[in-house]
Structure 1
């Protein structure tokens, strides 16, 4: 499955088909859609489609007739899908059996950008769908975390071809993959406070049973499920047929259901209690006065409400105050912060409040997610996954330039290449938070002055509005790129 194709096209080529005498734009095949030999995702005419094999067409039609498919699509848990019969006549060739059309996902993210709660809820969604599929004669052939995407703070399963008719084997073929990409990462973070994000970014295959066992303590080995899913699994690592096998009298779907229920209990019982982090209490501990905070909210509200945007990025979002403000005037706000505690807190609050159009991500702007996988194209960098109509960069610039030693010029160049409209906050060197940051340092970027910042901004943008907050140490800028 290539989740990036559910949003936008990528480099590729194909012969332009002709329908009713009209040439159709050539399908653009997704560069990451090749691991499943039964299907190939492509973008054509603004729609997201998938060529499927003749065998997969039978599996799809069996899935389409199930009760759980219709129910899950209605609930937003499964991507809406239908056969694209008119297009199939001009696109199908060779061994392909049909063409499916999928609903779009507005923004693609990856498991190494999710918080603990997001990964856990994605795992539970996959297990719930597997259990429902088994009841109607279907199985899941894999257990990849990349089969799940997000609509705001709600997970949605996107890989329709994962479902196949039950073939009689009394095990789940995706068990090993599920453990490596869901269960093991959740265990090591819940019990050992080892962040899974760098581990999943370092290996797209996840955390192996052997690696997980080495990370767990002796006490952890006594916890529920560890003996079966980690210790014994690690001993079997490297052997063929690593699906979830069960010996004994149970046969068929009942054997898998028994173990799915066990995995559900384990995953639901995993909790991460990190306490406070450097930024999770920032809203209460920052240097803003009440007047500063009120003026800043008004400024952002006026910009956000000027017109409706399709996609907004809130960079350095903390727990999401300004992301929620922008969400009232946008189809989707992607709220990114490097602090996993703050992001997880934001996610839990979004779920409780029912906000449907804010998608939180654990994302370090100074160390962003790169292109990964085969030819560095299976998983895409941020800039290739969507261009925001508006970017909020509030109280983050000084962390990048003074805290992470990024050149101010390059940061502004990056912003200018990312968006056409930006709200950015400049924090002076005499601000209490900046003085604290520089307390034990003498070196800093010589460009980091308000005068030089304004000069560099004006070389790249047109300043629409400028506001110095009442404290006098922070200045907000609303800028747009000049029309060419």
Structure 2
């Protein structure tokens, strides 16, 4: 992945497909994001263009870009050379904007409710670090959204370059409420109450309000770290200010002597609080799955050889999905053959442990995400497209579905035909699906079947599975593991 160098001459943007507006970029009228093929472009109005040029020349912004903490960004030259002779500027949605920026392309866009606790905390800390640096240089940010951050593997990166604006003394941080709702409050739910924040953020695109947090923190809980100031006082101020205009609030703060130094002190206090918040999800039986899953040494070796061969069959992969990644064993293997791997795991405890381990290893090519594949992330926000569904984002050169099918088909009562249609749907045209079928007499499948009425899954058979698989592409290879109760397949999508 290449981060554009702000000091070089921008290369022309070649557009082989139509310009598409990013559905999640419409709330700030001063700038809008577009896609042209793999290019990510941001159009700016006159005011935003002026702010951008001041930002690019500031003392804090270029070092943060160079360190990878803010996404690589460059301004494209005006005129026909922008698109190497294309008429895109003159006849498209880019016409009329004062400037166009090109951003580094993030390998896979994820949503905050797909992150583990440690991921959300690291994202919040990066947000505050960048804000503190901006304040020191006379800038601030318009908002505090968790969606302003994405990932390069286990490294968070700030992507909303258009949110930076010059700071005016006496003005509060406009993003404080949003930061609380989308980052601080979810972390408090986990650290103070042991609650999973993911369902809250998935249900509400704007996060958790002070009014929702207040009733959860009564009695002795009122005194937990951060609660008095950022929940109860914040909620009280919000209620008192409901009839006060923003300009009145600014005037009151200026009159009270609110300064840049006070703003920086507030951010440092929030950083200290966020660092103190921690939550280790309670362990489940999936945490020790590699020891308890029943694979023999020969099974494991054969499986790894089969997966390696599948990943090598058509050269280096651009994107691999590892569905049901558990401890990331096969995600790591895939990273040797791919530019990027998205490792999806349902269990938050397992995923959080995987993230912390990968982070310790400095892994930047594996992105771990929390998700239940029987209930994957839907489209959300405005018109249900502001935040794209997982299915709309997931189009991979290779999809690994290892020891997964029986959990969906037996554990979650999803028909085999539906399971395979879902899995194949994640495979890009010309890509491969590597899938494992666990036979009904396998100990793990038998354990799941023991909790179901007799005869409820008459079609859960290897011959039925193979027929359904063959109807969806070409089975290029198969391997029955030495145990005799599991079979691996490599399918080329039709």
What TM-score comes out, normalization by structure 1 length? 0.91
Q: Corresponding residue for 2:212?
A: 211
2:44 alignment partner, one of 39, 49, 52: 52
Moved more, 200-209 or 236-245: 236-245
Moved more, 447-456 or 396-405: 447-456
Q: How big is the shift at 1:119? A: 0.5
CA deviation map 1:38-61 (0-9, x unaligned): 111112253211111111111111
User: Structure 1 residues 285 and 217, CA, compared in 2 at 3 Å: closer, same or farther?
Assistant: farther
For residues 58-96 of structure 1, the C-alpha deviation after alignment (integer angstroms, 9 at most, x for no partner) is 111111012221111111110111111233974687863
Contact 2:192 2:224 (8 Å CA) reproduced: no
SS at match of 1:392: strand
Between 268-277 and 233-242, the greater mean CA deviation after superposition? 233-242
Q: Is 1:287 aligned to 2:299, yes or no?
A: no
Match of 1:341 among 343, 349, 360: 349
Quote the Cα distance in structure 2 between the aligned partners of 1:25 and 1:290. Answer: 49
For 2:290 and 2:308, the matched residues in 1 are separated by 18
Question: In structure 2, how many angstroms separate the alpha carbons of the residues matched to 1:62 and 1:280?
Answer: 49
Q: CA deviation at 1:187?
A: 0.4
Contact 1:152 1:357 in 2 (8 A): yes
- Secondary structure at the residue paired with 1:280? helix
Please report how far the alpha carbon of residue 170 of structure 1 lies from its aligned counterpart in structure 2 after TM superposition. Answer: 3.6
Is 1:251 aligned to residue 258 of structure 2? yes
Q: Which residue of 1 aligns with 2:391?
A: 383
Q: In 1, are the aligned partners of 2:153 and 2:368 still within 8 Å (CA)?
A: yes
Does 2:65 correspond to 1:73? yes
Equivalent residues, number: 463
1:212-251 matched pairs, under 5 angstroms: 212-216=213-217, 218-238=219-239, 239-240=241-242, 251=258
**SS of the counterpart of 2:219?**
coil
Which residue of 2 is the match for residue 16 of structure 1? Answer: none
Corresponding residue for 2:178? 177
Deviation at 1:406, TM superposition (A): 0.6
CA contact (8 A) 2:299 2:482 kept: yes
Q: Distance in 2 between matches of 1:336 and 1:157?
A: 22
SS at the partner of 1:195?
Answer: coil
Equivalent position to 2:485, from 460, 463, 473: 473
Q: TM-score, normalised by structure 2?
A: 0.89
1:336-390 Cα offsets, whole Å, 9 max, x none, are 0111111111100110011110000001110011111111110111232241000
Q: Does 1:34 align with 2:42?
A: no
Counterpart Cα distance in 2 of 1:151 and 1:49: 19
Counterpart secondary structure, 1:344:
helix
RMSD of equivalent CA atoms: 2.3
**Structure 1, unaligned runs of 5 or more:** 1-18
| Equivalent-residue separation in structure 2 for 1:434 and 1:193 (angstroms) | 32
SS of 2:286's partner is: coil
